[in-house]
Amino acid sequence: MKALIVDDEIESPTGEGRAIRALVDELQSCGVAVIKSSSSEDGKSIVLSDPSIQCILMDWSLDDDPETHGKARELLDLIRSRNIHQPVFLMADRGNASQMDAEIMSQVDELVWIMEDTPTFIAGRAMAAMRRYVEEIEPPFTKALMDFAQVCEYSWHTPGHAGGKAFLKSPVGRAFFKYFGENLLRSDLSISVGELGSLLDHSGPIGESERYAARVFGADRSYTVTNGTSASNRIIFMASVTLNDNVLVDRNCHKSLEQALIMTGAIPTYMKTSRNHLGLIGPIYPKNIGYDAISRSISAHGLSKVPEAASSTASSEKARNDELADKQAVHAVITNSTYDGLCYNVERVLKILGDSVNRIHFDEAWYGYARFNPLYEKRYGMFNDQKPNSGPTIITTTSTHKLLAALSQASFIHVRDGANRIPHDRFNESFMMHSSTSPQYAIIASNEVSAAMMSGASGKILTRESIDEAIAFRQSMKKIHRHPPGKDKWFFDVWNADKYIVKNAGNSVEKKVEKNFEEMDPGVLAKNPEYWVLHPGDSWHGFKDLEDDNYVMLDPIKVSVVTPGVKLDGSLENTGIPATLVTAYLDNRGIVVEKTTDFTILFLFSMGITKGKWGTLVNALLRFKEDYDNNTPLTEVLPDKVKNDPKHYRGKGLKELADEMFEEVCNLGLMKHQKDIYSADIPHQDESPSSSYQRLVHGEAELLPVEDKEKKIGCKTVATGIIPYPPGIPILLSGENIGAYDGPHLSYLRALQAWDDTFKGFEHDIHGVQNIDGKYYIYCLPPKSN
């Protein structure tokens, strides 16, 4: 147990000082760790930095303020803004107790007469309050797991290491045991432990845990998934769709959704998405999800199965298309937010897309925190608590391990029942199909803890801290970008609005003035979504066809750093710095980024980011500028790359390599090919993903080079998706036509191949492409025989 005592007389040779010290001694004799603080400011610092404190005992007359008690009020307000459950004992004497009003009395748990009550009595009351507090904050499964681990039962069931004891029988096992610790190993249990319930049956404390999470996230029911949101997406699809069902799929979908299409045999209609001048992933425009657009898209690809009556009675192609257009999709999936941090106005999406489908699935793997901060209001799947829900059934997935606090592979599925609901019993058949009978209980507990951390005031505090740190980093970068150091006047930028038109509150007559982003009040930026919304016509974001105001918003915690080289119209500058070079430089300094495109680097400001971390990042980017300007030898700044290809890199400087890379980006047309891919129509679907995968398994696919004199690969059907990692977003999906040999897709892949051949150590990772001796090959399917 741990307690904090805040009293400015704690070390004083006074009666009150002696009483406080006696209380400290009593608490310590009972095994309580006591932190002593002698001022309100120090007390605030401790409250902000140490959430493990289980009880706070504070003086009502802090800092010699017996009249207003302002310092005590400030400290109390801070405590309650962060934690409404933490026990607070207010220490006073009868002389000043009359100045406590109803607000103060409602914020404290107990009043303590420090000069009258005995130290033993006060310590006993504090320990009882701490025990109740621990009981209150521990969510159901986590508490049951911790309690069971303390029982030390003999195990005659799996897992065979029996609480870690088996590891102690060998040297390597002992090393493993020592590294991970006894608590983790004793909590690695099995379904045989009935006291903890069953993940597959959703019973006992595990079932209570899921119901607890549903309340926190605003769902009708929630499911804990222990093998990641990739599995969550597959579970949802197998519970919702089956062979030949029409489904609407975000073209920016994750690879797991293509896998779900393969497993179910559903027929996808892809909703066309957008990219900007930097290649950043944008939204699906409203015009592409309206009823007419969806109906045309379903009929256009020709894979949709026509009802038997339609095929026998249709007398013309037009009649057949009319029948197809009338056939509704049964499921839709949209990625929210996009990988680059663009969040939909979900209320608007439901209104538009709800005309075409009554079951909508938001893949929110990277966005589990949105419900807990008002900045994201109406921009996440479970955005209100309307029950019953008269609109579509809404299903969301959340990777709690990505941007909340949970162990890897922890994930939630949240369901809000509406039209065409999926009953629990039916949904659970799919859940059991994709879940283990031997789940990792530590993952289940961490999933529950991630929900508990977001519950109440804590969620808002934690998300606000991430937003504040991201804004501080953005403003620091913008300030340096506007006034760069050194003789060569350049620096990296960050992708957000550069200026705002705001009201000038300093004038008696209200006027609007232009303010740079870095000059804005960070508190205002943190609270007002309007400063993050992508407005049609604004040039900074580069999404030219955006029509609806307030349709999409940039998430401030997903920060894209922009390297020099690309103009706002998408054309290239005379000089530039490919982002992959900056990423390699940062990696050499122990900084690992989330995603790198040609000229952007994505950084995620999760709850684990601190001022020290982003300050180090800014410093590293400044050091890159310095080394670039000085053309520092690669042997000093990128020694691993030099070892990888000494013939190419030895003797060169950082600027020389940047110039060479930029020239190659221009010569290969990387940005142009990418733009052509995403501005063109969605590739033709020759076969469904399921059909193409079946043919791959049966050995019908042929491995073809992307570059050969005979151009065999032109207009072939790809057997597997072509998916650059990160972010795991496809440029081609299985069953689609790769296009002409000189078309955008193959031209882009040949350009990437040429890059990889030239710049060893800077190669691309593309799922679905086999790199054999530096040459790209793809599995393709011949036409089906009649």
Give the separation between CA 543 and CA 288, rounded to whole angstroms. Answer: 15
pLDDT at 98: 63
The fraction of the chain above a pLDDT of 70, given in percent, is: 94
CA angle 660, 726, 678 (to 5 degrees): 80
Whole-number Cα distances in Å, 315 to 304, 312, 653, 683: 18, 8, 71, 29
Query: What's the number of CA atoms in the CB half-sphere (13 Å) around residue 515?
Result: 19
Phi/psi for 733 (5° steps) reads -110, 155
Q: Which of 433, 728, 774 is nearest to 595 (CA)?
A: 728
**Start and end residues for every CATH 3.90.100.10 domain found in the chain:** 670-781
Predicted local distance difference test score (pLDDT) of residue 309 = 39
DSSP helix, strand, coil percent of the chain (3-state; round to 5): 45, 15, 40
Q: What is the CATH code of the structural domain delimited by 460-668?
A: 3.90.1150.10
Prior bond of 140 cis (ω within 30°): no
What are the C-alpha distances in Å from 150 to residues 32, 143, 145, 167, 744? 20, 11, 9, 19, 62
* Residue with the larger pLDDT of the pair 315 and 286: 286
Reply yes or no on whether the pLDDT at 310 is more than 50. Answer: no
Angle between helices 70-82 and 40-49 (to 10 degrees): 0
- 344, 289 contact by CB (below 8 A): no
Amino acid 313: pLDDT? 47
- In the sheet with 33-37, reading across from the earlier edge strand, the strands are 33-37, 2-6, 55-59, 88-92, 110-113
| Mean pLDDT, rounded, of the chain | 91
Token pair for 257: 């959704």
pLDDT of residue 317: 58
Pairing state between β 221-225 and 511-516: unpaired
Banded model confidence at residue 207, pLDDT cuts 50, 70, 90: very high
For the chain, residues classed under CATH 3.40.50.2300 are 2-137
Cα 527 to the center of its chain, rounded Å: 20
Residues 107-127: b if buried by 16+ CB within 10 A, e if exposed: bbbeebebeebebeebbebbb
User: What pLDDT shows up at residue 785?
Assistant: 73
What percentage of the chain reaches a pLDDT higher than 90? 75
Is 50 exceeded by the pLDDT of residue 210?
Answer: yes
Contacts of 216 (CB under 8 A, 6+ apart): 451, 452, 454, 455
Tokens for 240?
Answer: 């919702």
Instruction: Return the half-sphere exposure (C-beta side, CA atoms, 13 A cut-off) of residue 323.
Output: 18
| Total Cβ atoms within 10 A of residue 20 | 25
Every domain of the chain with CATH number 3.40.640.10 lies at 195-455
Residue 226 neighbours by CB under 8 Å, 6+ apart: 199, 409, 410, 411, 435, 436, 439, 440, 443, 444, 447
Q: Which residues contact 488 (CB under 8 A, 6 or more apart)?
A: 629
The values of phi and psi at residue 499, to 5°, are: -145, 160
Q: What is the location of CATH 3.90.1150.10 in the chain?
A: 460-668
Q: CATH number for the 2-137 domain, one of 3.40.50.2300, 3.90.76.10, 3.90.930.12, 3.40.50.800?
A: 3.40.50.2300
446, pLDDT greater than 80: yes
CATH number of 670-781: 3.90.100.10
pLDDT at 324: 52
**pLDDT digits over 141-193, tens only?**
999 998 887 776 656 677 888 888 899 999 999 999 999 999 898 888 877 78
Q: How many residues does the chain have?
A: 786
Question: Which CATH number does 195-455 carry?
Answer: 3.40.640.10
Higher pLDDT, 315 or 751: 751
